[in-house]
């Protein structure tokens, strides 16, 4: 949960320092540590459907380690199948909504969504729009306040998505997301997104701080086990009709 300190983390927000950004190169060390930590994951689910949304500029390949760990923990894991995430471009949010509905129909269960970086912000907006179809959202290193000062990639995001932070559709994204509770996992070593943007968010936000990097969130076994525990905390309804 948010501490008193974290309630004010949005003040004086600025992108991660260049030093922190260079620290993302430690992902190679993170991969090595993850391999050394390899252990059989605890089974935490009997097949609850989970959709994993990649971060900006990446696709399903970037989430393969996380998905494998969740699959081994007993979840029915799904890729987003929308290619490279270039942000909330026209039609992308609609297709993502359709993807969530399709998984819910095929499994007959509400979907849990895990989103990395920008994928977490998009996932939360979908949850706000489809409250009966999405069971919960876990965000990893996500700029949940969509503040353009929170990331060094903000200008690139605007270039490829055509959306500025003050754009009406972005405000709608935030408004929809605030309707859905979210579990935000963040690291103060994040070299891509200002950790303050992940440590507090509009609406109900439960937070967990971890010792990792932005890229490391996708390969760290301890982080993945935390994600599995958070997903398992949510009651898993027997069918969509029960909601």
Strand order in the sheet with 49-53: 76-79, 49-53, 111-116, 134-140, 182-186, 205-209
Q: How many CB atoms lie within 10 A of CB 52?
A: 27
Question: How many residues are listed for the chain in this entry?
Answer: 243
Q: What pLDDT score was predicted for residue 90?
A: 72
Q: Which residues of 164-191 are buried (b: 16+ CB within 10 A; e: fewer)?
A: ebeeeebeebbebbbebbbbbbbbebbb
Q: What pLDDT score was predicted for residue 23?
A: 64
Q: What pLDDT score was predicted for residue 160?
A: 44
Please give the distance of CA 78 from its chain centroid, rounded to a whole number: 14
Strands (E) across the chain are located at 49-53, 76-79, 111-116, 134-140, 182-186, 205-209
The residues with which 33 forms a beta bridge, in sequence order, are none
Q: What pLDDT score was predicted for residue 42?
A: 84
Please give the distance of CA 161 from its chain centroid, rounded to a whole number: 19
- Name every residue whose Cβ is closer than 8 Å to that of residue 65 and which is 6 or more positions away in sequence: 34, 218, 219, 224
Of 57, 12, 73, 13, give the one whose Cα is nearest residue 215: 57
Q: How many CB atoms lie within 10 A of CB 84?
A: 13
CA dist 184 and 210 (Å) reads 11
For residue 24 the two structure tokens come to 């993302």
Q: Could you state, in chain order, the average pLDDT of each consecutive group of 10 residues for the chain (243 residues)?
A: 41 65 66 65 90 95 95 97 88 95 97 96 95 96 77 54 56 85 94 90 92 92 94 63 48
- Name every residue whose Cβ is closer than 8 Å to that of residue 198 and which is 6 or more positions away in sequence: 139, 141, 142, 143, 144, 184, 185, 186, 190, 207
Do residues 175 and 198 touch, judged by C-beta distance below 8 A? no
């Amino acid at each position: 949960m948010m501490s008193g300190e974290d309630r004010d983390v949005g003040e004086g927000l600025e992108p991660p320092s260049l030093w922190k950004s260079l620290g993302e190169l430690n992902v190679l060390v993170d991969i090595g540590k993850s391999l050394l930590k390899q252990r059989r994951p605890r089974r935490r689910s009997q097949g609850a459907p989970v959709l994993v949304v990649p971060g900006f500029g990446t696709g399903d390949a970037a989430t393969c380690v996380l998905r494998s760990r969740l699959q081994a923990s007993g979840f029915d894991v799904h890729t987003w199948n929308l290619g490279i995430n270039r942000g909330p471009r026209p039609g992308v949010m609609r297709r993502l909504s359709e993807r969530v509905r399709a998984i819910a129909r095929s499994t007959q269960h509400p979907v849990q969504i895990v989103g990395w970086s920008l994928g977490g912000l998009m996932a939360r907006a979908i949850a706000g729009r489809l409250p009966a179809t999405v069971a919960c959202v876990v965000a990893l290193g996500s700029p949940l306040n969509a503040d353009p000062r929170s990331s060094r990639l903000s200008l690139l995001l605007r270039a490829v998505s055509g959306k500025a932070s003050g754009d009406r559709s972005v405000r709608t994204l935030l408004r929809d997301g605030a309707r859905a509770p979210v579990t935000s996992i963040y690291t103060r070593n994040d070299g891509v997104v200002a950790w303050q943007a992940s440590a507090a968010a509009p609406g109900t936000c439960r937070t967990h701080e971890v010792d990792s990097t932005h890229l490391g969130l996708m390969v760290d076994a301890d982080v993945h086990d935390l994600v599995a525990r958070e997903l398992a905390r949510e009651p898993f309804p027997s069918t969509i009709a029960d909601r």
